[in-house]
Structure 1
Amino acid sequence: MTSASHRDARAHDAIGETPGRRTPPVGRAGVFQDLLPLALWVVDADGVLVQWSLAAQDLLGHTSEQMVGQDARRVLVPEGHLELADGLSRTVRTGAAVVARLPVRHRDGTVVDMELWHCPIADVRGRPGVLAIAAETSAVERMRDALAALEGLFTQSPVGLAMLGADLRFLRVNEALARMDGVPVAEHIGRRVTEVAPGTEALESMMRRVLDRGEAVVDHRHTGADAADPEQQRTWSCSYAPLLGAAGQRAGVIASLIDVTEGQRAHLEVERARRRLALLAEAGTQMGSTLDLARTAREVVRVLVPRLADSADVQLLEEAVAPDETAASAHGVVRRVAAAFTDPAAPADHLSVGMTQQVPPGSVYEQVIGAGRPMNLYLSDIGPLIPTPGADRLREYLRARVGCARLVPLVARGTVLGAVVVTRTRDREPFDDQDTLLIDELVARAALNIDNARMYSRERDAALTLQRSLMNPVLPTVSGLELTGRYLPAGDHEVGGDWFDAIALSGGRTALVIGDVMGHGIHAAAVMGQLRTAVRTLARRDTAPDQVLRALDAAVADLGDNEMATCLYAVHDPVAGHCLIARAGHPPPMIADGRGTIAFLDGPPGPPLGLGGQDCEVQRMVLPPRSLLVAYTDGLIETRGTDLDQGMRRLAQALRHPGHPLEEICDELLAHVMPETADDDVAVLLARAQPR
């Protein structure tokens, strides 16, 4: 083996290599491989290169085979820097280590500015040689800047920062994170997150997933007690990323925490405001959808519970909703008309709808109702809400489970109608100012809706009373005809101006009348009463059918431009066996003969009453024995989405047994033709011709 070969072998052995196999040299080990590559070479006492690392090859382009045995000064030192290089070598050979910046020649002829550590080392003969450890100056500066930035980030950042190892124990934390945890920096090191901040098991599990999967988590919101004030809650935005080692392995986790409590509170306030607006909008569509008082109260409860409260109890003063003649006897009595309690522990036997109770003088309830102003109640104040004797179990439940309540009077148009009690259990935050404003607004709207329903109910009752007094539903017994009739208002809350009548005339004849006044309520019923009276007066004067309608047209026109009605007037003559019929805008009657053949009266209906210029055509219709005449108002056959022709076909199909008793036929027609949800009131008049 030549001397050069011996030098090459020694060089390979010194840097941990064997011929034919390359292993990572010292200069490429550890974090320096990625952060700061270090080149290494050794020069003996003669200035000859005896070792050249792979990192040196990467940085300067020369292979070990090319460099070992070469004069280091000639190959590496550029012109103009020889004197500096010689001085450094002399200093090192005296036994001193020197750090200096020196340009070094690259294989391609360019010059690389490098930071060099010159250290004394004995060569194979024991003479003073030089060990050079070099790094590219730009890389050193980048690393220095990065370390300075990292240091500044940890020491100055208001963001909580931490580095954790693969065992998820703290390696480093900054002061900001220590303040968030309420634990000094030194007491973090070597400890797990759950040991420093109890209750953070979910965060530690999240960091374990980040470490296992190598996927970062950004802006996970965590809420916990404030270290400085455990009674207060704070929210942090937590982000975690894997900490990678030199070979790309996951060596730990980088954590950052930002206190976003104020921003979170602002976001929650915005969200709560949005929900409040949505609730108000929903209340506008849900509350007062009908003029039914009980249903309106239930709608109030559905809006309040459970989104705004855990219970809602609507109680009305009996004197506010009772008829005038009974109001005095109901003074101070409230009736529960709607209630909802989400808590299953609530004693239902004391909270059932329909219960009444006397408001005790001097109680909280009386104060609220008397003053017409709402009141918040807490804990011990809850008991007086229940004045009912023997309600000790309910009082105990309220004291044990209810955390807060608000008692709001139902005030509409200056009148106190009752009160609404809303509560929250102790599991929920008490009502804040925004909650109480929203509750009061909803109850104020509910009061108007309930008052509308209350007044409408009174008006409807008055209209029904008036209508019953003006329209005698009992038909007379007449010659040659069997009669029956029905009047049905549009649902439970609408009264209109439909009517029917039968009037005995001279010579055994009978006048049959059915009419429909446009509109609903007391006014329509009053107009109906006037027309019915006018018809009876005209009929008894033996006025012809067309003249009757002409007179009614003038009477309706005299009532005002907005009045209108339809009417059918017929005179049955049992001797002649026919009817004379005139119509003013009214649907045609249906006739079924004894064999069940069905037909509708042909001919024009004429204009409705009230339009003026009435010119009605009188039609003659044969009505043989056992034949049936069915007269009706348009509410029976006309609904939204269907026309009169469709309704008339349904009516004809429903008349299956014209020979049955009239009451059965009437029930069957109403059951099969009457719409489930009536838009208008309905009157039906049936007349069957009798054999002579």
Structure 2
Amino acid sequence: MSPVHPLDEAATARAVIDGNGSLIRWSEGAHRLLGYAAEEVEGRPAVDLLAPAGDAPPLGSTGDRWNGVLALRHRDGRVLPVWLLAHRLEEGGDWLLLTPLDGRASRTVDDPLVRAALAQAPCAMAVYDERLRLYGINDSMSEVIGLPEDRIRGLRVSEIGDRRAGEQLEREMAAVLASGRGRDVETYARSGGEERAHHWLARIAPLTDTHGRVLGVCVAAHDFTEQYRARKRLQLVNEASVRIGTTLDVTRTAQELADVCVPALADFVSVDLLDPPENGGEYRVEPPTAPIMLRRAAHRSLREGIPVVEPGDIDVYPASSPQADSLIAGRPLVAPNAAGTLQEWLSWDGLRGKRVQEHGIHATMSVPVRARGRTLGVAVLSRFRRPEPFTADDVLLAEEVTARAAVCIDNARRFSRERQTALALQRSLLPQSLPRTAALEAASRYLPAARAGVGGDWFDVIPLSGMRVAMVVGDVIGNGIQASATMGRLRTAVRTLADIDLAPDELLTHLDDLVVRLSTEAGSEGTTGEVGATCVYAVYDPVSRRCTLASAGHPPPLVLPPGGPPRQIDVPPGPALGLGGLPFESVELDLPEGTVLALYTDGLLESRERDADTGLRLFCRALEESSPSLEGVAHAILQALLPAGGAPDDVALLLARTHGLASSDVATWDIPADPALVAPIRKQVADQLEVWDLTVATFTAELVVSELVTNAIRYGEPPIRLRLIHDAETLICEVSDSSHTAPHLRRAKTFDEGGRGLLLVAQLTQRWGSRHTPEGKTIWAELSLLGEE
């Protein structure tokens, strides 16, 4: 039934024959033609309607369309020669047979004018009446349709050619009839019994009489297949430039190549790549030799069950395979071609040949993936749904798209190689484990950016004298190996400056000078010279339970007091490192025992999906509601703040829970500047060690205290103070005075009467040193209690 004129079926005799040759549908027009009612013939073999000695139409071997004259038997016994047009309705299934019963339109127009217009038109033209039945065509349209005018006059568009395209065109023609306004329609259909479809531009115009009444429509058909394909090729190339290379990921880029080509260019596409050379080398310039080992990077298919190799799997391709042949030749190869068939090309692999037959793959094109003169892999394109073979234009298009993808794949590979190198360098420069101290317990996390280059984020925990601990988190501007190297230099500098016990603001000032020098050096080497970083440095004293912090343009840390809500520390932000000449300020605050301190880089809070305030609230909530374990807290924070696909920037997180030393573990004496009092002081030290049950360290401690107190009395300035601090592993002796003169270790000559004190201290202790204080200096020495019996 026509979607436009459902009551006009009697004008055409129509019958449908199934795959077994039985009549399954009989129209009223067929009843008019042969006299049989539908109930008399439906279900019967169609050959019963042929006249004696008549030949059946060869429908099984004529493609999708057939036409010819058959001798049919009328119900009253007459033999009628009837011209029939047959269309295949389904692949391997039903056929539609039809013939016009009225070769003259019911309403005519001025014949000479119409004939002149049709004959002299520069394109294929057809005229249809108000019932959308063919009235007349010119010779050009007859060539396009592949049928003579006198045979098809009176048929509709959907009855003459491609049924789906014809029904679409009929709807447009009906709209022109109703509105009286012309329109242009693009359609894709086969014509003239051709196997390959064409792209048509149909210009539909109304035909009116002198009174403006619409009598029919005129259709002018223009074959713009080449223009259409050129437009599609440009669209595909443009789409490839937009869709391929959106990330610096090799596998994702290969998948984008497959996605772009299906279904625009092929019905199945596989992308196989050579594994990168060992030790980060480059691919060879010369073509590879067979057999070739390739890893499946991606594939895309319009039908399931075609791929033999899954992504990530490796397969070996011998000579005579599509992959190996095109890689060795260094150019695209297409099958079938003059050299052989597709089956011969795939004879090396029985499973692939079986899949080709099962899915009806009839054309394959293998295109090398090459970039910068080196072969990276191969893309194989196959067709099974599209009936057309690959043309020379298809080959050029596949080369263009694959070449674009190859550059993106090579860029992604180079980025991955540099990223792995930078990541290895970064991880080697970061602490492999955090030191165990009596002042605090710590947990850390470092996560590189998911897609960007590895940055210069770092963290560190540095034990200081007097049981104190320094914590630092920093972020170098930029990414890549240069940022990782700069991070390593800054981390080393921080440790060196921390060893001389600089205050946080002083340490950042020295670190700022270093970054300025690094910028100057980088600029002299021909680079941009822009080296910068942010940093926060904190020192916690478990004796006083106070923490001193300073920041260089870094996000302020969070603090979670025991039983209290988390909050940001109000630390002066300070300038970023590398600006030079600007001051830094410290802030000091009390941290009760059990307080959690969180230092982090800005990558933890940055997100495109939320603002910084929302991220900060999520951070505080995760910090407050997570488990008592610091490792659990770190995991909860990252899970709450980072997206599933990974952070867009590097993330460094350092968590510390403070401990305090009991007052009973600290002993302090004020010492008059009298050398005669050294002996009583040694006795008091011995008594205190006996109270602490550390008598095994008494001898060494007395010697160290004697030397340090004697030096303070002899070379220092009052007031002088002695302090002993201990935990389960270490005993610390500290002597403070008001002099700012630092002690120097020297070797005394054989007959010198002095100069051996500090050398003796260095030999007897685990480590020793001095630090400047606002009141003067402090000389300290640490004795290890481990192994003391």
Per the normalisation by structure 1, the TM-score is 0.66
Match of 1:118 in 2: none
Deviation string for 1:87-120 (max 9, x for gaps)? xxxxxxxxxxxxxxxxxxxxxxxxxxxxxxxxxx
Which residues of 2 match residues 255-654 of structure 1 at below 5 A?
260=221, 263-265=222-224, 268-320=225-277, 323=280, 332-344=292-304, 346-348=305-307, 350-361=308-319, 363-378=321-336, 380-383=340-343, 391-398=349-356, 401-425=360-384, 427-491=386-450, 494-560=453-519, 561-640=529-608, 644-654=612-622
Report if aligned partners of 2:196, 2:387 keep a CA contact under 8 Å in 1: no
Structure 1 residue 320: Cα displacement: 4.8
Report if aligned partners of 2:601, 2:653 keep a CA contact under 8 Å in 1: yes
Q: Compared with structure 1, are the counterparts of its residues 631 and 313 closer, same or farther at alpha carbon in structure 2 (3 Å cutoff)? A: same
Report if aligned partners of 2:274, 2:376 keep a CA contact under 8 Å in 1: yes
Q: Distance in 1 between matches of 2:482 and 2:131?
A: 86
Structure 1 residue 340: Cα displacement: 1.0
Report if aligned partners of 1:313, 1:339 keep a CA contact under 8 Å in 2: yes
One-letter amino acid of the counterpart of residue 662, structure 1: L
Structure 1 residue 493: Cα displacement: 5.4
Q: Distance in 2 between matches of 1:264 and 1:358?
A: 46
Q: Compared with structure 1, are the counterparts of its residues 666 and 168 closer, same or farther at alpha carbon in structure 2 (3 Å cutoff)? A: closer
Structure 1 residue 276: Cα displacement: 2.7
One-letter amino acid of the counterpart of residue 638, structure 1: E
SS at match of 1:605: coil
SS at match of 2:536: strand
Match of 1:684 in 2: 653
Structure 1 unaligned regions, length at least 5: 1-145
SS at match of 1:472: coil
Report if aligned partners of 1:545, 1:580 keep a CA contact under 8 Å in 2: yes
Q: Distance in 1 between matches of 2:146 and 2:477?
A: 78
Report if aligned partners of 1:473, 1:485 keep a CA contact under 8 Å in 2: no
Q: Distance in 1 between matches of 2:118 and 2:496?
A: 105
Which residues of 2 match residues 170-319 of structure 1 at below 5 A?
193=155, 225-226=191-192, 260=221, 263-265=222-224, 268-319=225-276
One-letter amino acid of the counterpart of residue 357, structure 1: D
Report if aligned partners of 1:375, 1:407 keep a CA contact under 8 Å in 2: yes
Q: Distance in 2 between matches of 1:167 and 1:530?
A: 84
SS at match of 2:554: coil
Structure 1 residue 169: Cα displacement: 9.9
Q: Compared with structure 1, are the counterparts of its residues 406 and 347 closer, same or farther at alpha carbon in structure 2 (3 Å cutoff)? A: closer
Structure 1 residue 532: Cα displacement: 0.9
**Equivalent position to 1:153, from 98, 109, 116:** 116
Report if aligned partners of 1:319, 1:330 keep a CA contact under 8 Å in 2: no
Q: Distance in 2 between matches of 1:536 and 1:467?
A: 17
Q: Distance in 2 between matches of 1:155 and 1:673?
A: 73
Structure 1 residue 587: Cα displacement: 1.6
Deviation string for 1:257-309 (max 9, x for gaps)? 65x3xx322xx333333333232222222211111111111111111111221
One-letter amino acid of the counterpart of residue 445, structure 1: R
Deviation string for 1:186-222 (max 9, x for gaps)? x669x85489x9659869x969x98xx9998968989
One-letter amino acid of the counterpart of residue 572, structure 1: Y
Q: Compared with structure 1, are the counterparts of its residues 500 and 333 closer, same or farther at alpha carbon in structure 2 (3 Å cutoff)? A: same
Match of 2:631 in 1: 663
Report if aligned partners of 1:412, 1:447 keep a CA contact under 8 Å in 2: yes
SS at match of 1:655: helix
Percent identical: 37
Q: Distance in 1 between matches of 2:112 and 2:154?
A: 26
Q: Distance in 1 between matches of 2:569 and 2:310?
A: 56
Report if aligned partners of 1:588, 1:601 keep a CA contact under 8 Å in 2: yes
One-letter amino acid of the counterpart of residue 313, structure 1: S
Structure 1 residue 241: Cα displacement: 7.7
Match of 1:63 in 2: none
Report if aligned partners of 2:534, 2:553 keep a CA contact under 8 Å in 1: yes
Structure 1 residue 430: Cα displacement: 2.0
One-letter amino acid of the counterpart of residue 679, structure 1: P
Q: Compared with structure 1, are the counterparts of its residues 318 and 382 closer, same or farther at alpha carbon in structure 2 (3 Å cutoff)? A: farther
Report if aligned partners of 1:628, 1:658 keep a CA contact under 8 Å in 2: no
Q: Compared with structure 1, are the counterparts of its residues 502 and 375 closer, same or farther at alpha carbon in structure 2 (3 Å cutoff)? A: same
Q: Compared with structure 1, are the counterparts of its residues 219 and 673 closer, same or farther at alpha carbon in structure 2 (3 Å cutoff)? A: closer
Deviation string for 1:372-425 (max 9, x for gaps)? 3222222754357658x7x41321332562222221111111211001111222
Q: Distance in 2 between matches of 1:184 and 1:639?
A: 69
SS at match of 1:395: helix
Structure 1 residue 458: Cα displacement: 0.9
SS at match of 1:402: coil
Q: Compared with structure 1, are the counterparts of its residues 272 and 160 closer, same or farther at alpha carbon in structure 2 (3 Å cutoff)? A: closer
Q: Compared with structure 1, are the counterparts of its residues 178 and 647 closer, same or farther at alpha carbon in structure 2 (3 Å cutoff)? A: closer
Structure 1 residue 175: Cα displacement: 7.6
Q: Compared with structure 1, are the counterparts of its residues 283 and 148 closer, same or farther at alpha carbon in structure 2 (3 Å cutoff)? A: closer
Deviation string for 1:627-685 (max 9, x for gaps)? 12111111222334766555434322332247812112222222223355633211111
Report if aligned partners of 1:567, 1:586 keep a CA contact under 8 Å in 2: yes
Report if aligned partners of 1:238, 1:255 keep a CA contact under 8 Å in 2: no
Q: Compared with structure 1, are the counterparts of its residues 584 and 319 closer, same or farther at alpha carbon in structure 2 (3 Å cutoff)? A: closer
Per the normalisation by structure 2, the TM-score is 0.58
Q: Distance in 1 between matches of 2:266 and 2:195?
A: 27
Q: Compared with structure 1, are the counterparts of its residues 322 and 216 closer, same or farther at alpha carbon in structure 2 (3 Å cutoff)? A: farther
One-letter amino acid of the counterpart of residue 625, structure 1: E
Q: Compared with structure 1, are the counterparts of its residues 437 and 200 closer, same or farther at alpha carbon in structure 2 (3 Å cutoff)? A: closer
**CA RMSD of superposed structures (Å):** 4.5
Structure 1 residue 443: Cα displacement: 0.6
Q: Distance in 1 between matches of 2:231 and 2:583?
A: 62
SS at match of 1:656: helix
Structure 1 residue 614: Cα displacement: 4.1
Q: Distance in 2 between matches of 1:463 and 1:527?
A: 12
Q: Distance in 2 between matches of 1:535 and 1:155?
A: 91
SS at match of 1:357: strand
Structure 1 residue 620: Cα displacement: 1.7
Higher gyration radius (CA)? 1
Structure 2 unaligned regions, length at least 5: 1-108, 520-528, 662-789
Q: Distance in 2 between matches of 1:154 and 1:277?
A: 37
SS at match of 2:624: coil
Q: Distance in 2 between matches of 1:687 and 1:553?
A: 26
The more displaced of 646-655 and 434-443 is 646-655
The more displaced of 328-337 and 420-429 is 328-337
Q: Compared with structure 1, are the counterparts of its residues 329 and 648 closer, same or farther at alpha carbon in structure 2 (3 Å cutoff)? A: farther
